[in-house]
Amino acid sequence: MQRTSKTAKKILVVDDNELIADTMATVFRAEGFHVAATYNAQAALRLLQSDSFDLLLSDVMMPGMTGIELAIEVTRRQAIPKVLLMSGVSATTDLLQNARRLGYNFEILTKPIHPTEVIEKIEQLLA
């Protein structure tokens, strides 16, 4: 069921794989969300200087700043209230444990992710 623009939530998608970021943005738009896609954490942080979002959906393993570092930064700044991470790399466990030691507890979805699974999780987080 598609949402009306009055209740549409804003999602920031960050993935260094442009195809994944753009595909997810297209799927979310079709579901009635307002979406922006960026391809690295630095671009996401620049975008947050002029726009606000309800949820960050970020890949974990990206060059430069990881998705977990981005999630910590937006949470610390209180820039985005909800964060959902995704990764196709099993090595992210150590990064998540480090974040938890710092007091941040992020949920992570394992790639490949079916679009309906992501949409259901996002709807739960934004409810």
Q: Which domains does the chain have, with CATH numbers?
A: 10-126 (3.40.50.2300)
Q: How many CB atoms are closer than 10 A to CB 32?
A: 14
70-102 pLDDT, tens per residue?
999 999 999 999 999 998 776 677 777 888 888
3-51 pLDDT, tens per residue?
444 468 999 999 999 999 999 999 999 999 999 999 999 999 999 999 9
pLDDT score of 69 more than 50: yes
